[in-house]
Chains A and B, each alone.
Chain A
Amino acid sequence: MSVLGSGMDSERQVWDLPVRLCHWTLVAAVAGAWLTHALGINYFVYHVWCGYAVLVLVTFRIVWGIVGTRHARFWNFLRAPRPTARYGWDLLRGRVTHYAGHNPLGAWMVLLLLLALFAQALLGLFGNDEIYNLGPLNGYVSYDRGIELTSLHRRLFYWIVAAITLHVAAILYHRIAHKEHLVRAMITGRKSAAVVPDSETIPSSQIVAAVLIVIALAGVLVWVVQHAPAAQNFDSFN
């Protein structure tokens, strides 16, 4: 790939490895969750596994947004509504400001997608397909509440598809209209030195910290799932 050959000096690191790995495994987990749904009710076990992956990845990314490297932190990229609106207005008039990290609109999409995927994975844990598949935490809720949460899980999917479409469309727009290689940056972690001042480059990916956080979050999830009460079966009337 020409990416690596484009000169190390002219590019600077902005996305740490955990952010990039988290992003692309999240893409795979969400795609897998959709696929295992589409394949039918006998692939439910794998659907649940994809949901677990989404849950761990999203909670990791939220924690990483607090303790992670410079451009991974929420308060380093989320901007107030007014500057965000100004950025959007400028964009409409063909003027783009380049950011080392997320641009203001992209930043809010990051937060929106994370929260939506978190809610979606959480809802799925309580699901009931009314045939024979039950989410691992369905036993915590009544039968009717389980059906309600499943209905929300079903409907939220379409909103997530809309948000992902917008996210991808925005990246295509930046690629075509402003020649910004955002996908490449999310793979290599590097952006052109022209948009990344030396002071904004990140020195390290803090991989050990990231691995420890993921292990801890996965452990919590395993504990919660294993301690969930058994769901009420259809014919357990006593």
Chain B
Amino acid sequence: MKLLKSGSTCTMLLGLVLSLTAAAQNAPPPGGPPPGAMGPMPSPADRAIEYRQALYTLVGGNFGPIGAILQGKAEYNAADVSKRAERVAFLATMAEDAFPEISRDGKTKAKPEIWTNKEGFAKALKAFQDSSANLAAVVKQDNTNSAAFKAAAGKVGEACKGCHDDFRAK
């Protein structure tokens, strides 16, 4: 994270040269990407997986601070919580489109059960959507570190865990 700030230009140039050399040595077979391209093009499956992982990075990034408040590790900041609760609820609506069949195989922890147990997965996904929508509603009505907030946020955490347990490889 601090690499860009602290890393010297020299190191970056060296890295660039090295990666270009590596790319040149692992020259793609004829019909592959043109010379000079940085590695092979991502396949549609890779891109679908990347899209999903980006989505869940955002979910984690926005829900993490709410979890920190739940555990008393961070102060309740009303503006921050309402912003994050709304984002998580919105991101949850995107999650249902983040599991196309094509993203089943590749560098992903998504288990095949997502596509073989569609009913179970739809239920787990709905738990995420419902609980996060509920959290946003609770925060909208009373934007304080209330028992209702804690319960609602805890339910979102349980929905995360429930889905991870069944549909995410460990």
List the interface of chain A (C-beta within 8 A of B): 40-42, 44-45, 129-133, 151, 154, 232-238
Contact = CB atoms under 8 A, between A and B. Distances in A.
B67 interface: yes
Interface of B: 1-2, 57, 60-68, 70-71, 154, 157-158, 160-161, 164, 170
Contacts of A154: 170
B110 to A, nearest CB: 14
Provide the main secondary structure of the chain B interface.
Answer: helix
Given A235-B62, A236-B1, A41 B68 contact: no
Main DSSP-derived SS at the A contact region:
loop
Contact of A234 (B2, B61, B157, B170): B61
A233 B61 CA distance: 8
B64 A235 contact: yes
Contacts of B62: 235
18 contacts: A41-B160, A42-B157, A130-B60, A131-B60, A131-B160, A131-B161, A131-B164, A132-B63, A132-B64, A132-B66, A132-B157, A133-B71, A233-B64, A233-B68, A234-B63, A234-B65, A236-B1, A238-B2
Given A130-B60, A235-B62, A236-B1, 4 more contacts: A233-B64, A233-B65, A234-B65, A235-B65
A44 B160 CA distance: 15
Contacts of A235: 61-62, 64-65
